[in-house]
Amino acid sequence: MANTLIEIAYDGTGYSGFQIQENALTIQELLESSLSLIYKEPIRLTGAGRTDAGVHARGQIAMYKAPFLIESDSLPLAINASLPLQIVVTSASVIPDYFHVRYDAVRKVYSYTVDRLQYPQIFLRRYSWHLPGLIDTVLLRKAAAIFPGTHDFKNYQVSGNNNEDTIRTIYSLKVEECEDSGVLKIWYEGSGFLYRMVRLITGTLIRAGEGKVSLNSITESLSGDNKTAVGPTAPAKGLCLEKVIFHGQ
């Protein structure tokens, strides 16, 4: 059995996230179906992380036990042959038996795209949150500077999803503004993220930029004192898993 790693890019529009579910079409289900056709037996994937319904990825990572070896250069072509156009395996490699995509992942990088032009940009409409109103990017950046570090993000998870461990570390949170294209891009790099945590932080940053929530209130939300400062949950379509970083990288 060969421990095999694949890297996947996908347009999450119309899919119920990465992880396999009953009565819902997911990225994992389609990948496993393609792999099972190739190996002529059921194959089960393990992903480095879960993406929600409608969320995209450029650098999702998954692993599986292959019953026999296929050349790494040929394997993506074979898998892609039976996948829909919205899902593409971009690389494959054999990895050591001790390696695990979930437990050996130390950081994840996400981006969130905001379209700020007056009218929605047609080629961004599936991949961005359209916000034509006034946003003070100076205030937004000041709000973004509050989040890096290790904090208790219990207020930044979707209601009803009460994780016991809500301590996470955000290593960097950067805001890029491109006036020519009308795009605002927010980059997150962290040890891991709670369910919808990035989307809730994004919604909070936007409210700060609109002058609807104070910087002090956001600081209080990280100490557990002010949950009303959090959100709203930004739409899934603006979020993309860019990269998974492992030990030694």
Residue of 11, 52, 97, 165 marked catalytic? 52
3-state secondary structure at position 71 = coil
Whether 52 is a known active-site residue: answer: yes
Q: Checking DSSP bridges between strand 46-47 and strand 56-66, what pairing results, if any?
A: antiparallel
Give burial (CB, 10 Å; 0-12/13-18/19+) of 18. Answer: buried
Residue among 225, 158, 151 nearest 198 (CA): 158
Q: How far is CA 217 from CA 148, 197, 222, in A?
A: 16, 17, 9
| Residue 157 contacts residue 166 (beta carbons within 8 Å) | yes
Residues carrying an active site annotation: 52
